[in-house]
């Protein structure tokens, strides 16, 4: 954030000049004062804030009532993150000139940085009252509203800022983020696109637009936009991490790992990137490395419920159930409405034979997130095991309604129909599951059994063969296949698959 600067006409000329040893000497003319103030402004514009402070403080010693110098001193300290000093000098400026809009705006900026958003808003409003066309202050006011969760006020204020100055790229981008949070994706896209149009080198807008494209499933375009953001700002750690997310989602696990590593190299304390890297290691079956990396993420950010949840999954994968359960419970302590942690806790409790507790977890997950297909599927599976097949069917049907591409839910629903002897319905479900997941050996075996039960032996044999080709070490399928061969007296085929 840049402070607002304004050169005001001098009202005094009895100051001094500064020699090379920073010793104040008498200033004879206003011109000499202006030259020194210009020098301080030059330091500010060059990012040499400490040098600027040295010049301005000497001028302050000569005349503490110069509001142009006070404003610049406040701005320099703001950039140095010396917010108490920034507040002091802007307050001094306001005491001398109660109509100095820039000082009110800069005081608001400093208060916002120390977490006093309410105080910041009051000073921004004072600045706007003094200068109703102060676009930068509208932009900063909107940001404070956003921090307080006053979304409507933030949107309207960003709009006003852009009416006054259509080239405020931060306002375009921030307004886009607000629209995105409200699900207004077309409006958000327009905002990010406008930001890029105004400033094609604005990496944040490229990254934000990439996030929208990812959410819309346009993964290739999202990757291109993240790469453009990184080209414009190679040290943009968030863009590297978000690029990793898209690469991971598109199945490019190795490339995702490299993107996360780059983000971490740029920002070693980046807990989210560590967590995402761990998830990629888990996807790559590097479970021990995933566990170690999740622990690093948690060490960096102890209040990281997703990391605890995912660490629990990795621990469950290596049968460390007690540790997994502890992780899920920690995730829920940190975020009591975490549906995935409830669902995963249910899985771990089911593994331990704690069926009643598992059902409670699955039901809680589905209540917290009604369109949580996996929770409905898991609940259906456990109800089926209890013999409550009709109830199980209702949950399987809900799961595939929520996610029509959920192959496991179709397969489980087929099992439920098979238990009810509704073989045609079972066959239809198994067939859909196989269409969605052609390498699904279990479902080929289940489909074969349904064909066998219905007397369709040739189709059964074909499906058993397919199941065994996908998973040669599949004893249950092999036994059923041999039995089917016995039924049709085709021992030659048995020899062929051995």
Q: What is the pLDDT of residues 359-398, one digit of tens each?
A: 999 999 999 999 999 999 999 999 999 999 999 999 999 9
Q: Can you tell me the mean pLDDT for 249-277? A: 97
pLDDT at 494: 46
Comparison of pLDDT for 441 and 492, the residue scoring more: 441
Strand partners for 26? 16
Q: Can you tell me the mean pLDDT for 212-224? A: 96
State the Cα–Cα distance between residues 393 and 213, nearest whole angstrom: 36
151 pLDDT above the threshold of 90: yes
Neighbour count for residue 300 (Cβ, 10 Å): 17
Contact assessment for residue 75 and residue 44, using Cβ atoms and an 8 Å cutoff: yes
**314-359 residue pLDDT tens:** 999 999 999 999 999 999 999 999 999 999 999 999 999 999 999 9
Contact assessment for residue 328 and residue 340, using Cβ atoms and an 8 Å cutoff: no
Strand partners for 17? 25
DSSP code of residue 209 = H
State the Cα–Cα distance between residues 433 and 443, nearest whole angstrom: 7
Q: Can you tell me the mean pLDDT for 251-258? A: 96
Q: Can you tell me the mean pLDDT for 52-74? A: 93
Q: What are phi and psi of 24, to 5 degrees?
A: -75, 130
Strand partners for 16? 26
pLDDT at 5: 62
- What CATH number should be reported for the domain whose range is 1-132? 1.25.40.10
pLDDT band (50, 70, 90) for residue 479: confident
201-302 CATH fold? 1.25.40
pLDDT band (50, 70, 90) for residue 441: very high
pLDDT band (50, 70, 90) for residue 487: confident
Structure tokens at 100: 């100095």
The pLDDT > 90 percentage for the chain reads 86
The number of angstroms, rounded, from the C-alpha of 486 to the middle of its chain's C-alpha atoms is 57
**124-148 residue pLDDT tens:** 999 999 999 999 999 999 999 999 9
Phi and psi based region of residue 252 (left: phi greater than 0; alpha: psi -120 to 50; beta: remaining): beta
State the Cα–Cα distance between residues 368 and 192, nearest whole angstrom: 32
Residue recorded with tokens 């073989």:
423
Comparison of pLDDT for 15 and 216, the residue scoring more: 216
The mean pLDDT value of the chain amounts to 91
pLDDT at 475: 87
Q: Which of 89, 115, 112 is closest to 100 using CA atoms?
A: 89
pLDDT at 11: 28
**3-62 residue pLDDT tens:** 666 543 322 233 333 444 444 445 446 777 888 999 999 999 999 999 999 999 989 988
425 pLDDT above the threshold of 60: yes
pLDDT band (50, 70, 90) for residue 483: confident
Q: Can you tell me the mean pLDDT for 151-160? A: 95
Structure tokens at 264: 């971490």
pLDDT at 62: 85
Q: What is the pTM of this model?
A: 0.79
State the Cα–Cα distance between residues 419 and 225, nearest whole angstrom: 50
Where in the sequence of the chain do the CATH 1.25.40.10 domains occur? 1-132, 201-302
pLDDT at 108: 94
Q: Can you tell me the mean pLDDT for 475-489? A: 79
Q: Can you tell me the mean pLDDT for 453-479? A: 90
pLDDT at 13: 31
Residues of 337-353 as b/e, b for ≥16 C-beta within 10 angstroms?
ebbbbbbbbbbbbbeee
200 pLDDT above the threshold of 70: yes
Q: Which residues contact 368 (CB under 8 A, 6 or more apart)?
A: 337, 338, 339, 342
Q: Can you tell me the mean pLDDT for 472-482? A: 85
pLDDT at 6: 58
152 pLDDT above the threshold of 50: yes
Helix residue ranges per DSSP H, 301-338: 305-317, 321-334
72 pLDDT above the threshold of 60: yes
161 pLDDT above the threshold of 90: yes
Q: Can you tell me the mean pLDDT for 426-447? A: 95
pLDDT at 489: 64
Helix residue ranges per DSSP H, 151-270: 151-164, 169-181, 185-198, 203-215, 219-232, 237-249, 253-266
Contact assessment for residue 106 and residue 75, using Cβ atoms and an 8 Å cutoff: yes
């Amino acid at each position: 954030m840049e402070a607002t600067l304004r050169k005001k006409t001098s009202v005094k000329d009895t100051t001094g000049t500064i020699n090379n040893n920073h010793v104040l000497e008498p200033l004879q003319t206003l011109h000499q004062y202006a030259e020194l103030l210009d020098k301080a402004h030059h330091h500010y514009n060059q990012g040499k804030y400490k040098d600027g402070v040295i010049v301005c403080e000497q001028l302050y010693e000569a005349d503490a009532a110069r509001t142009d110098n006070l404003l610049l001193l406040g701005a320099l300290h703001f950039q140095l993150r010396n917010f108490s000093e920034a507040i002091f000098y802007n307050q001094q400026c306001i005491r001398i000139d109660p109509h100095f809009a820039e000082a009110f705006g800069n005081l608001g900026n400093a208060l916002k940085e120390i977490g006093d958003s309410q105080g910041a808003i009051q000073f921004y409003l004072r600045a706007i009252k003094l200068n109703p066309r102060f676009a930068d202050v509208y932009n900063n006011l909107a940001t404070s509203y956003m921090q307080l969760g006053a979304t409507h006020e933030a949107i309207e204020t960003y709009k006003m800022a852009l009416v006054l100055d259509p080239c405020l790229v931060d306002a375009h981008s921030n307004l886009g983020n607000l629209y995105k949070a409200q699900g207004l994706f077309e409006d958000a896209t327009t905002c990010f696109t406008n930001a890029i149009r105004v400033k094609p080198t604005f990496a944040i807008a490229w990254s934000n637009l990439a996030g929208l494209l990812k959410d819309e499933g346009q993964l290739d375009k999202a990757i291109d936009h993240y790469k453009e953001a990184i080209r414009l700002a190679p040290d943009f750690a968030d863009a590297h991490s978000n690029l990793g997310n898209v690469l991971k989602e598109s199945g490019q696990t190795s490339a995702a790992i490299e993107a996360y590593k780059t983000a971490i190299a740029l920002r070693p304390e980046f807990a989210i990137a560590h967590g995402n890297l761990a998830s990629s290691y888990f996807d790559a079956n590097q479970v021990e490395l995933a566990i170690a990396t999740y622990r690093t993420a948690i060490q960096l950010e102890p209040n990281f419920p997703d990391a605890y949840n995912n660490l629990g999954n990795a621990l469950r994968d290596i049968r460390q159930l007690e540790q997994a359960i502890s992780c899920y419970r920690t995730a829920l302590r940190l975020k009591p409405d975490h549906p995935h942690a409830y669902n995963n806790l249910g899985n771990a409790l089911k593994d331990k034979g704690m069926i009643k507790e598992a059902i409670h977890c699955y039901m809680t997950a589905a209540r917290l997130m009604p369109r949580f297909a996996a929770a409905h599927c898991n609940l259906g599976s456990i109800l089926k095991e209890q013999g409550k097949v009709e109830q199980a069917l209702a949950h399987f049907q809900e799961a595939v309604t929520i996610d029509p591409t959920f192959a496991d839910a179709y397969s489980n629903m087929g099992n439920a129909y098979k238990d009810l002897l509704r073989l045609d319905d079972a066959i239809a479900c198994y067939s859909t599951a196989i269409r969605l997941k052609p390498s699904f050996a279990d479902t080929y075996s289940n489909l074969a059994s349904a064909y066998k039960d219905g007397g369709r032996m040739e189709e059964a044999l074909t499906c058993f063969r397919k199941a065994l080709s996908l998973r040669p070490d599949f004893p249950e399928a092999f036994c059923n296949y041999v039995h089917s061969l016995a039924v049709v007296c085709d021992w030659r085929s048995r020899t062929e698959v051995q």
